[in-house]
Amino acid sequence: MLRLLVAVAFLFGAAAAGNFSKDVTITWGNGNGKVLDGGQLVSLSLDNSTGSGFESNDQFLFGRFDVQMKLVPNNSAGTVTTFYMSSQGDAHDEIDLEFLGNASGQPYTLHTNVFAKGVGGREQQIRLWFNPTAAFHTYTILWNSQRIFILVDNIPVRVFNNNEAKGVPFPNTQLMKVYASLWNADDWATQGGRVKTDWSLAPFTAYYRNYNANACVVTASGNSCANSTVGNQAWQTQGLDANSRNRLRWVQDKYMIYNYCTDAKRFPKGFPKECRLPRF
């Protein structure tokens, strides 16, 4: 198992940390979002008046986006902590990581989704196999023209392939920013909304550190990946080798609790086209 983990970590690598003071802006929260430690840490808090969030200052077209997070501890029921990417407009693209809180002692759920051209509904959920509140763990969105990877501690937990040639929309034309937030969703987040947020425990706080965007930054003056150095990064053609495919199967077979591609009640007339294509 150790050799497999090392192989996966080597395959996907890790990027150097940026600085929140330069890279992001706290966009909402009435003071509940804070940049700390000279830009090395962000805290996002939720109380019964508001949550909080930040967004990247740059916008991107493909890249690898890493952040370390320590989630809301103890009874986090009703809360949702996020790290995601999105474009703007009704026909937007989006890549979601949403961490659904739970009652004390229960595992966190990682809820993922992919929107392309305004259409989502591609939800998968896994139980995290560790306590994400006890220490920082690394969460990654790797997005290139061929596929999207979602990684947890450099272990692939989801792949969404570009199957546009087979009629499946894929996010590959719209610029996206990185976003993070902590908000209340006790109407659905924990056990389908049956467990509500206990406001006597507020404020709820999550922490972010070591954010890095190793990516194509697009501005009015051009695309940074036109530079020969930036435009020759491993993430641009990243695929799965045999070891990482085995690790992905391990996560999905052992820890997946929901997959839209197996929800026959939701799709009584047949699953979406991508569900009938090879997983990897």
- The residues annotated as belonging to the active site are 94, 98
d(CA 164, CA 147): 11
Structure tokens at 8: 């996966």
Q: How many of the other CB atoms lie within 10 Å of CB of 165? A: 7
Angle at 126 between CA 276 and CA 277, to 5 degrees: 10
277, 273, 278: which is closest to 249 by C-alpha? 278
Cβ atoms of 53 and 33 within 8 Å: the answer is: yes
- Tokens 């929260």 label which residue? 29
Structure tokens at 226: 């036109």
Q: How many of the other CB atoms lie within 10 Å of CB of 266? A: 12
Q: How many of the other CB atoms lie within 10 Å of CB of 106? A: 15
d(CA 263, CA 266): 5
d(CA 121, CA 27): 27
Strand 33-36 and strand 147-152: the pairing is unpaired
d(CA 143, CA 171): 9
212, 176, 214: which is closest to 40 by C-alpha? 212
